[in-house]
Structure 1
Amino acid sequence: MKILIVAGLLLLAVAGGVTFNAMQGKTLDLATSYVFEQPRTLAPFTLADQYGNSFTNQSLQGKWSLFFIGYTACPDVCPTTLNKLAAAYPKLQAISDTFQIVFVSADPERDTQIKRLDYINFFNKEFKAVSADHKALFPFSRDLGFVYAMVGEDSDYQVDHSASYVLVSPRGEKTAVFKTKPTPGQLPQIINSELISDVNKIVSAWR
Structure 2
Amino acid sequence: MKKLIISFILLFGIGGAALVALSPSKAVNTSPLTLSSGYLFEQPRGLAPFSLEDQSGAEFTQADFAGKWSLVFVGYTSCPDVCPTTLSKLAALFPKLQAVSKVPVQVVFVSADPARDTQQKRLDYINFFNSEFKAVTAPHAKLFPFSRDLGFAYAMVGDGDDYQVDHSASYVLVSPKGEKFAVFKPKPVLGQMGQIDHKELLADLEQIFNRYSNSEA
Length-normalised TM-score, structure 2: 0.83
Q: Which amino acid aligns with 1:173?
A: E
Larger displacement relative to structure 2 (164-173 or 25-34): 25-34
Could you tell me which of 101, 109, 117 is aligned with 1:111?
Answer: 117
Alignment match, 1:76:
81
Could you tell me which of 154, 174, 179 is aligned with 2:160?
Answer: 154
Matched, 1:39 2:52: no
Matched, 1:140 2:170: no
Alignment match, 2:129:
123
Matched, 1:199 2:205: yes
Larger displacement relative to structure 2 (184-193 or 164-173): 184-193
Matched, 1:173 2:179: yes
Length-normalised TM-score, structure 1: 0.87
Cα offsets for 1:64-110 (capped at 9, x unmatched): 00000000000000000000101110111112250000000000000
Larger displacement relative to structure 2 (96-105 or 64-73): 96-105
- The Cα of 1:162 is off from its aligned counterpart by 0.3
**Percent of aligned positions that are identical:** 66
SS at match of 2:114: coil
Q: Which amino acid aligns with 1:126?
A: E
Alignment match, 2:68:
63
Find the aligned partners of 1:110 and 1:59 in 2 and give their Cα distance. 24
Find the aligned partners of 2:178 and 2:81 in 1 and give their Cα distance. 30
Find the aligned partners of 1:83 and 1:186 in 2 and give their Cα distance. 18
Alignment match, 2:32:
27
Find the aligned partners of 1:99 and 1:173 in 2 and give their Cα distance. 14
- The Cα of 1:156 is off from its aligned counterpart by 2.0
Find the aligned partners of 1:181 and 1:32 in 2 and give their Cα distance. 8
Q: Which structure has more RCO (C-alpha within 8 Å, separation ≥ 6)?
A: 1
More helix by share: 2
The count of residues paired between Structure 1 and Structure 2 equals 184
Tell me which structure has the larger Cα radius of gyration.
Answer: 2
Over 2 Å off, 4+ runs = 183-186
Q: Which amino acid aligns with 1:115?
A: K
SS at match of 1:26: coil
SS at match of 2:56: coil
- The Cα of 1:183 is off from its aligned counterpart by 2.3
SS at match of 2:34: strand
Q: Which amino acid aligns with 1:45?
A: F
Kindly report the root-mean-square deviation, in angstroms, between the aligned alpha carbons of the 2 structures: 1.0
